[in-house]
Amino acid sequence: MSGLLSDLVQSLTGSREGVLPSAQVFPAIDLDQVAAELRLDTRGRDDGQANLPLLDGSFSESAAESDVRAEIERRASRAFQEFEAFRAANRLDRLPRLPKGVALRWMVIVLLVSIESVMNGLFFAEGSELGLIGGVAQAVVLSLFNVGLGFSFARYGLPYLRHVNPALKAFGGLATASYVVCIAALNLSIGHFRDLFIQHQGAVTLPDLADRLSSGPFDLADARSLILVGLGVAFNLIAAVDASGLDDPYPGYGSVGRRKDAAVANYADQRTRCLTDLKARRDDAIADMSQIVEEVRTKDHDVQLSVNGLARLHQQYVAYGALGELPHSASPALP
């Protein structure tokens, strides 16, 4: 529309030479000259080859924008339908709990690994010839295993205890039982590993460790090994609690909610941009129309001047005709 208004403004403010030479007050318009000035043939041929219905190409741009808006709206609708279907299938009547401090929780995980690695290194330094440095490798590996176990259970086992599907709920129960066994076995193994590490000056074989675990899993030779087991269990549980807050407690609900929120936010953002664009076009159209109104007023004034001029010309012509008749009317009075 702005292009059409611009053309109208140009036509109103354009050259006044597109008229046929004439002595008339209102001469005829030279259509060929006007068509040449507007380049109607060239512009029509170029737009026809480019498949542009309008001279300024606004139709194609508007169609492309409409297609983009329609696709965004369809995606938002599909995401919302998926969200509602998930809620209905899993009998959920609450909104997803999407955590905001995810970065902080990941920092806690890293901090747990770091602290446990340092503490394990201190406990294993006694049996190493290199002291604290010699026990770092074992400490880091064992810390990763321990914290990783709690993290994995919280992310991939614990959520299924709340699942509406009986089979998946049973899987969650099995995962919980396995986790309890694994956390005890892993940390007791770490405690017995430390006992053997100190006794054999760092040389620990797998058969020796298996024999100690099978013969007396709770018979630790050193009290500090027992403390190490307790600290390992504590760090494991802290990691599990922290990791459980990384997403909604119901499996899959958080990801569905995030997809829905992202689609709705994208739709709202696109709608805001469209409204801004429409307001800009409205303002441009108002400005063009205001200019047209002003030009029309100017043209109206010109027309009024022309009418007044024509009236004066008529009066002058009448006066001239009256002057021409004076000799005839005065002839009888002459001697």
Q: What is the pLDDT of residues 116-166, one digit of tens each?
A: 888 887 777 765 555 555 567 777 888 898 999 999 999 999 999 989 999
Q: What is the pLDDT of residue 25?
A: 46
For residues 222-228, give the mean pLDDT: 83
The answer to whether the CB of 115 falls within 8 A of the CB of 108 is: no
- Can you tell me the distance from the alpha carbon of 258 to that of 99, in angstroms, rounded to the nearest whole number? 11
- Please report the pLDDT score of residue 179 as a whole number: 94
Q: What is the pLDDT of residue 134?
A: 55
Given a cut of 60, whether residue 207 has pLDDT beyond it is: yes
Say if CB 123 and CB 194 are below 8 A apart.
yes
Weakest-pLDDT range from 11-15, 210-214, 321-325:
11-15
Task: Please determine, for residue 170, whether its predicted confidence score (pLDDT) is greater than 90.
Answer: yes
DSSP string across 166-183: HHHHHHHHHHHHHHHHHH
Alpha-helical runs (H) found in the chain: 2-13, 31-38, 40-49, 58-89, 102-124, 136-156, 166-199, 206-215, 223-244, 253-330
- Range 262-281 average pLDDT: 84
Token pair for 294: 């002003």
Please provide the average confidence, as pLDDT, over all residues in the chain: 77
Sign, CA torsion 50/56/60/61: positive
pLDDT band for 236, please (50, 70, 90 cuts). Answer: very high
pLDDT band at 20 (very low <50, low <70, confident <90, very high): very low
Choose between 306 and 201: higher pLDDT: 306
At 216 the three-state DSSP class reads coil
234 pLDDT band (50/70/90 cuts)? very high
pLDDT at 241: 93
Strand partners, 29: 19
**pLDDT over 60 at 53, yes or no:** no
189-193, 202-206, 242-246, 331-335, range with the lowest pLDDT: 331-335
Name the residue type at position 70: A
Please determine, for residue 191, whether its predicted confidence score (pLDDT) is greater than 80.
Answer: yes
Asked whether the predicted pLDDT for residue 9 surpasses 60, the reply is no
Instruction: State the residue for tokens 């709770």.
Output: 218
Among the ranges given (8-22, 229-243, 279-293, 301-315), the one the predictor scored with the smallest mean pLDDT: 8-22
Tokens 């300024």 belong to 56
Token pair of 125 as six digits: 């330094």
Lowest mean pLDDT among 22-26, 37-41, 45-49, 62-66: 22-26
